[in-house]
Structure 1
Amino acid sequence: MSVDETLRRRNAIPSDRPVAGAGECEMSSRQLKVFGKSIRVAVWPCHGKARTPLLLLNGIGASLEMLTPFADALADREIVAFDVPGSGKSEATILPYRLWMLSMLASGVLDQLGYGRVDVLGVSWGGALAQQFALQNPRRCRKLVLAATSQGMLMVPPRLSVLSKFMTPRRFNDPGYRKQIAGEIYGGKARTEHLLVEEFRTTSRRGYLYQQLALVGWTSMPWLPLLAQPTLVLAGDDDPVVPLANARVLSMLIRDSRLRVLNDGHLFLISSAEEAANAVREFLDANGRDTNGKA
């Protein structure tokens, strides 16, 4: 049974978009009830060689649409993602949450979709969630990719002028402001390629705040050496938000890791999607058994 058929039968919720036909990898998204909350989930199906599915975990305030350039560039692998509560089209929570709770939510999404073992890629804020997921799910997470992210509260910080602009959802909700500051806070190709900002969608203030609160006091540094998953650390050499030194710390502390630095900024999964996808594909396909990940 296909993923879309499974979703329709288990949840009886109509799809937001048409299901892709044979040979295509068009995203199909829909709402699922997970732990009592309506969560928007997307699947980019792949009809080629069966490989371990890839779970994508997005950045703070970002909706599924932000992942499309990278997912399109990695079209030979089945990809699943979801909007974090309060972002995109997922229902907001009443109370704040912690990353370990979102890790459980991610497992609930995978369970409903019928996935067992997966590879996991987390970008920026989602990279922290990816680390947490790998810690809580050592058997379910086969390989780990950490993109433009850090070890949390003990990270090498950005400049205050960058941090102050990054901490507000205005960069999502005000296109003029976003265009004005994009180069300064994202660096790399965002300094000149203004089309990059078109991938953004509006986000809620409460959802954004709760994502920020989830990171308060959180750091992975003490337990990074415990992660057993082979890990690829991806970083931009001009990332004002997450300075490159953080990627070096991650790759130093994770025992089975490798570092790849791209000539770009914080948004390299969008602006250098092909290069990033090739690096991820090479890493995920190298060494070891790869399966279709279905439970």
Structure 2
Amino acid sequence: MQKDLTAEFSMETVGGRTLRVARWRWDEPSEHLPVLFFNGIGANIEAVAPLAEALTERPFIMFDMPGVGGSPEPLVPYNPFTMSWTAKELLKRFNAPEVDVMGISWGGAMAQHFTLQHPGTVRRLILAATTAGMIMVPGSPAALTKMANPRRYIDAGFMEEHFRTLYGGLTGGKQEHISRLTPPTPRGYVYQLLCMLGWTSVPMLPFLKKDVLIMMGDDDQIVPLTNGRILESLIPNSRLEIFEQGGHLFMLTHREQTISSIRGFLDAPDRVQREAA
């Protein structure tokens, strides 16, 4: 497992649950809010470390879910409410009363829930390759079948062979991505799946009063583009950006475009300022 040495790692116990936490540039002066990032299912901190590294002007924080990466295996199941509370307590511990929030795939659902549960903590929200939960357009059966196979985490050959089927889009950078993955424990993976079972944000999204950027690949085999259009139609102050030839990992294959889009969105004037102008 690759460890990004520019991040500060710590084990934090919140509400009886211990999590491995990574923070970038946390104690450096910055005029920008920190970014709180929620990762995809089964993905460890290292998988998204390049994104944290690229946003050099911003503090950045993420944590491994229970049983994923370096976080101990969960003893009991958890749900979006408890994990959102846990994330909020971590932010309080590190003196971050307000953040910008981003999530990819499964983490995009967590990012939505966190924002809805703790609206006073969130300034802006970025959703990447994600859905509104159970009310979604499913991906291709071939991709979903291979995604459910734990071999994609423990067998690099399996991941490489089926990378295009799994994620769609361009496949540049796949070796780097594969090298950064650490397999979750079986219980950790199952509990992460169970966490969002039956969950949907659809009834609440029309009431989400945040500026939201939705980023989707047009060749995502796991989360088809239509899901991004559904999110855009439900969230009042949202904008959809489509990454051409982008699969589920467009943040990897379209790295420069991704960073540019994130910066442009987070640095833009607030909605109140735009309306006043």
Using the TM superposition, give the Cα deviation of residue 288 of structure 1 relative to its aligned residue in structure 2, in angstroms.
2.8
Whole-angstrom distance in 1 between the partners of 2:230 and 2:78: 27
Q: Does the CA-based 8 Å contact 1:183-1:192 persist in structure 2?
A: no
- The answer for the alignment partner of 1:22 in structure 2 is none
Using the TM superposition, give the Cα deviation of residue 169 of structure 1 relative to its aligned residue in structure 2, in angstroms.
2.4
Using the TM superposition, give the Cα deviation of residue 189 of structure 1 relative to its aligned residue in structure 2, in angstroms.
1.9
Whole-angstrom distance in 2 between the partners of 1:97 and 1:190: 34
- The answer for the alignment partner of 2:67 in structure 1 is 86
1:188 equivalent to 2:169? Answer yes
TM-score normalised to the size of structure 2? Answer: 0.92
Using the TM superposition, give the Cα deviation of residue 251 of structure 1 relative to its aligned residue in structure 2, in angstroms.
0.8
Whole-angstrom distance in 2 between the partners of 1:61 and 1:126: 10
Using the TM superposition, give the Cα deviation of residue 100 of structure 1 relative to its aligned residue in structure 2, in angstroms.
1.3
Gaps of 5+ in 2: 272-277
1:115 equivalent to 2:116? Answer no
Whole-angstrom distance in 2 between the partners of 1:193 and 1:243: 20
- The answer for the alignment partner of 2:275 in structure 1 is none
- The answer for the alignment partner of 1:262 in structure 2 is 243
Please, which of 60, 79, 102 is the counterpart of residue 83 of structure 2? Answer: 102
- The answer for the alignment partner of 1:29 in structure 2 is 9
Using the TM superposition, give the Cα deviation of residue 201 of structure 1 relative to its aligned residue in structure 2, in angstroms.
1.6
The amino acid that maps onto 2:258 is A
Using the TM superposition, give the Cα deviation of residue 192 of structure 1 relative to its aligned residue in structure 2, in angstroms.
8.3
Whole-angstrom distance in 2 between the partners of 1:218 and 1:98: 9
Q: Deviations over 1:16-56 (max 9, x none)?
A: 986xxxxxxx2111111111122111111164642111001
1:137 equivalent to 2:118? Answer yes
Q: Would the alpha carbon gap of residues 35 and 181 (structure 1) be closer, same or farther in structure 2, given more than 3 Å must change?
A: same
More off after superposition, 250-259 vs 192-201: 192-201
Whole-angstrom distance in 2 between the partners of 1:37 and 1:192: 34
Whole-angstrom distance in 1 between the partners of 2:98 and 2:80: 20
Q: Does the CA-based 8 Å contact 2:8-2:23 persist in structure 1?
A: yes
Whole-angstrom distance in 1 between the partners of 2:172 and 2:68: 26
Q: Does the CA-based 8 Å contact 1:39-1:83 persist in structure 2?
A: yes
RMSD: 1.8
- The answer for the alignment partner of 1:39 in structure 2 is 19
Aligned length: 267
Q: Would the alpha carbon gap of residues 17 and 145 (structure 1) be closer, same or farther in structure 2, given more than 3 Å must change?
A: closer
Whole-angstrom distance in 2 between the partners of 1:107 and 1:169: 30
Q: Which runs of 4+ in 1 moved over 6 A?
A: none
Gaps of 5+ in 1: 1-15, 19-25, 290-295
Q: Would the alpha carbon gap of residues 64 and 100 (structure 1) be closer, same or farther in structure 2, given more than 3 Å must change?
A: same
Q: Deviations over 1:84-141 (max 9, x none)?
A: 1111111222121111111111111111111110000000000000000010011101
1:201 equivalent to 2:182? Answer yes
Q: Does the CA-based 8 Å contact 2:4-2:49 persist in structure 1?
A: no
Q: Would the alpha carbon gap of residues 17 and 163 (structure 1) be closer, same or farther in structure 2, given more than 3 Å must change?
A: closer
TM-score normalised to the size of structure 1? Answer: 0.86
1:274 equivalent to 2:256? Answer yes
1:221 equivalent to 2:234? Answer no
1:250 equivalent to 2:231? Answer yes
The percent of aligned pairs where both chains have the same amino acid is 40
SS of 2:188's equivalent?
helix
Using the TM superposition, give the Cα deviation of residue 69 of structure 1 relative to its aligned residue in structure 2, in angstroms.
1.5
- The answer for the alignment partner of 2:108 in structure 1 is 127
1:283 equivalent to 2:234? Answer no
Using the TM superposition, give the Cα deviation of residue 194 of structure 1 relative to its aligned residue in structure 2, in angstroms.
4.2
Using the TM superposition, give the Cα deviation of residue 216 of structure 1 relative to its aligned residue in structure 2, in angstroms.
1.0
SS of 1:189's equivalent?
coil
Whole-angstrom distance in 1 between the partners of 2:176 and 2:22: 24
Whole-angstrom distance in 2 between the partners of 1:104 and 1:90: 17
The amino acid that maps onto 2:24 is W
Q: Does the CA-based 8 Å contact 2:139-2:221 persist in structure 1?
A: yes
Whole-angstrom distance in 1 between the partners of 2:174 and 2:108: 25
